[in-house]
Amino acid sequence: MLSTKRQIVSHFRKMLQEQGADSNFGNQFLYNALMDQAKWLIKREISAGRIYRNNSFFQTLPCQEVIETSTIDPCCPIKTKCKIYRTKHKLPEMWIDSNGPVLRYVTSIDGTTDFFITDPVTWQSKRNNPYHKMIDGKYTFPADGYLWFPEHNPHWINANGYYTDDVSLLEAKPCDPECKDDKKECVRFLDTKFMVPDWLHSEMFAKAFQLMFPTKQLPEDVQIDKNTNRKN
């Protein structure tokens, strides 16, 4: 079970012996310090294949509207004379690996059409291939926080990825009868899930602690060599 951000920050604050009212560090500062370490740790775990073996980290963002946009839009990542479409709104922040945002799949709203996830350079190369019309498939690529769809407009899509926050707290878009406009109750940021694997917590705490206090002794309960939760 994933911890909340508040639990993670409280544990780190206890580690730092910064629990009094006169603490030098705010919750946001401590959270950001931990996230700075989590970013490269998760990137390492993704490269090693450990993240993809755990479905619980991946969430589906449903009912994202796709609109036509101008090819001269300064945010448009490709130069093309064909029509291009993108999600109406930016997607929530995702964890990043060497290939960009960690997306597992993108489908049409009814799940009948899969979009190959690529990048602007690769797609442009395919588009310039004189035989590209013989290659069956629809493509998408993330850029500037959006998902872009060259040539084909799916109108509404679902995007499954490794998001940094719990996307279930977002309001669903009323795109069809199956997607209710269900407003979620207000939840404080620190009370949402901390989307970092538990086997990385000890190393994350230790690295953040050492960065903040390079000459201070690391508490025994977070010594990296005592972390037995790591997944192989």
pLDDT at 20 over 60: no
pLDDT at 110 over 70: yes
Residues 131 and 159 placed together within one structural domain of the fold: yes
Residues 72 and 161 placed together within one structural domain of the fold: yes
Nearest to 104 by CA among 171, 160, 184: 160
Q: Is residue 136 part of a domain?
A: yes
Q: What is the pLDDT of residues 136-153, one digit of tens each?
A: 678 898 988 999 998 888
Q: Is residue 231 part of a domain?
A: no
Q: Is residue 175 part of a domain?
A: no
Rounded Cα distance between 80 and 71, Å, is 7
Averaged pLDDT, 116-136? 71
pLDDT of residue 66: 94
Band of residue 54 on the pLDDT scale cut at 50, 70, 90: confident
Band of residue 9 on the pLDDT scale cut at 50, 70, 90: very high
**Pair 201, 208: CB distance under 8 Å:** no
Residues 128 and 28 placed together within one structural domain of the fold: no
Q: Is residue 188 part of a domain?
A: no
**SS3 assignment for 161-175:** ECECCCHHHCCCCCC
Please state the domain count of the chain: 2
Per-residue burial over 137-158, b = 16 or more CB atoms within 10 Å of its CB, e = otherwise: ebbbbbbeebbbbbebebebbb
**Pair 155, 63: CB distance under 8 Å:** no
Residues 143 and 221 placed together within one structural domain of the fold: no
Angstrom distances, CA of residue 220 to CA of 180, 225, 227 = 49, 10, 11
Residues 100 and 148 placed together within one structural domain of the fold: yes
Kindly report the number of other CB atoms within 10 A of residue 50's CB atom. Answer: 18
Read off the tokens for 207: 């690295």
Q: Is residue 10 part of a domain?
A: yes
Sequence-ordered list of residues with C-beta below 8 angstroms from that of 139, at least 6 positions apart, any chain: 115, 116, 117, 118, 123, 126, 149, 150
**At 112, phi and psi to the nearest 5?**
-85, -20
The residue segments making up the domain with residue 50 are 5-54+197-226
pLDDT of residue 89: 93
pLDDT of residue 46: 92
Q: Is residue 191 part of a domain?
A: no
Q: Is residue 95 part of a domain?
A: yes
Residues 95 and 67 placed together within one structural domain of the fold: yes
Nearest to 61 by CA among 121, 10, 110, 106: 106
pLDDT at 23 over 70: no
Residues 12 and 40 placed together within one structural domain of the fold: yes
**At 9, phi and psi to the nearest 5?**
-65, -40
Q: Is residue 41 part of a domain?
A: yes
Residues 40 and 83 placed together within one structural domain of the fold: no
Q: What is the pLDDT of residues 156-202, one digit of tens each?
A: 999 999 999 988 877 544 444 445 555 455 678 888 889 999 999 99
Averaged pLDDT, 36-56? 91
Residue 151 three-state SS? coil
Comparing 5-9, 30-34, 172-176, 194-198, which segment has the lowest mean pLDDT? 172-176
19 vs 151, more confident: 151
> What is the overall mean pLDDT for the chain?
80
Residues 47 and 127 placed together within one structural domain of the fold: no
Residues 102 and 142 placed together within one structural domain of the fold: yes
Residues 140 and 101 placed together within one structural domain of the fold: yes
